[in-house]
Chain A
Amino acid sequence: MLMKLKKNIAISESGFVFNPEIGTSFTTNSLGVAILKQLKSKTSSEEIIESIIKNYEIDATTCEKDLGDFLRILDQFNLIDS
């Protein structure tokens, strides 16, 4: 599945995320930043899961579920291109 982050979302290395279209801002951790960056470069969910499993101690099922939750939050916060 391919989900796209809205094109002008600003992500800083510190984990500060800014949506300039509506002026909202959020904070996330280093893994969140990594996922957001991948979403920005139009990486698929499958590829994101693969890269997380490679770098963190997590099984594929849990990773898929957690990523799904994270993507739903991003959608709720209006950060995903519909």
Chain B
Amino acid sequence: MLKKKNITIAVTALNAIDSPGPGIAVIRGLRESEFYNVKIIGLAYEILEPGIYMDDMVDKVYQIPFPSSGFDAMLERFRYIQEKENIDVVIPNFDAELMTFIKLKPYFNKMGIQLLIPTKEQFEERLKGSLNEFGEKHGIKVPKSETIYQIDELEEVLKEFEYPVVIKGKFYDAYIATSFEQAREFYFKVSAKWGTPIIIQEFINGNEFNVTALGDGKGTMMGAVPMRKTFLTDKGKAWAGISIDDPKLIEMANTIITKTNWGGGLELELMKEDKTGDLYLLEINPRFPAWIYLANGCGQNHPEMLVKLAMNEKVKPLIKYDIGKMFIRYSYDMVCDLDKYEKISIHGEV
């Protein structure tokens, strides 16, 4: 039997809440690796992220500063953590932290930490506000969209659209507005939470599909699994979904990864228009989705593959996956002793 290699992997996004971060799903994949024996270092921003308290998922947890604290604060924290843990690979799983990790990558590499993440250019090219240009450049259909920074611009921009329109935040949140009044309300709602710019997007009438995929950073798609959400929370997040068989979705993921030389995990949000059957790209999320464990259940362990790629191991691209596999989330109350909460609160590590 193959002896598993010991490896230490740090993972962010331990917020396994109703709108979950992908961290715990990524860790589940890593824990099921047939190649690695993993030690997991959880990286948490907030002291009540549930993953901190999940002993079967994380071996040690460190609190890290929010990306808004700046590059130096994050670098200093990682120097401290690295001295203690000797991390081999870091997997960042939040959109909002990714730019900081992109900047930190050369420093991490010097410390002996590997990452497989998109480059600054790749990250910026797929920003929601740049999607029109992205579509034109790569020959991909995208809904018409405009980016605005001030409420004064809204009325003028809306003249170019027909209702309903979609009002989106730069990182998260999207609302469908059927009137100017609603659009205005959603502008304030989203900008209060995520700041500006706000993206005004054409509404495509059809079915939404998602694809999780992995790129090696050299133009090869290492794996992809498409999914349709079958149950949504009131926040519009997937609470259940099913893997599906649509080669067009895989082809779209392959086009994006090969044309951009994408490195790392990504999630595509796509809309298939009812009228035409055409596929529109709504968003590229630059990291694994929270439902990434479905890919593992379908026979493609993307987190393990990402680690292998980051560690320069040989990895064969995977094409096959199980169709008709479902995921269903559930809520679960953990009962924890106060000492963990105390340790993470006082010492920033546990």
Contacts and interface: CB of A to CB of B under 8 A. Distances in A.
A81 interface: no
A20 B323 contact: yes
B324 interface: yes
A79 to B, nearest CB: 14
Interface residues of A, number: 8
Interface of B is mostly: strand
A18 B324 CA distance: 8
B324 A22 contact: no
Interface residues of B, number: 14
B253 to A, nearest CB: 16
A46 to B, nearest CB: 30
Interface in A8-54: 8, 10, 18, 20-24
A11 to B, nearest CB: 13
Contacts of B13: none
A18 B207 CA distance: 17
A20 B246 CA distance: 8
A9 to B, nearest CB: 11
Contacts of A24: 228
A22 B277 CA distance: 12
A10 B207 CA distance: 20
Contacts of B230: 23
Contacts of A18: 324
Contacts of B241: 23
B227 interface: yes
A13 B63 CA distance: 53
Nearest to B274: A78
B245 interface: yes
A20 B228 contact: no
B244 interface: yes
Interface in B272-310: 272
Nearest to B247: A21
A82 B245 CA distance: 18
Interface of B: 207, 209, 227-228, 230, 241-246, 272, 323-324
Given A20-B245, A22-B246, 4 more contacts: A10-B324, A21-B246, A23-B227, A23-B243
Interface of A: 8, 10, 18, 20-24
24 contacts: A8-B245, A10-B324, A18-B324, A20-B244, A20-B245, A20-B323, A20-B324, A21-B244, A21-B245, A21-B246, A22-B207, A22-B209, A22-B228, A22-B244, A22-B246, A22-B272, A23-B227, A23-B228, A23-B241, A23-B242, A23-B243, A23-B244, A23-B324, A24-B228
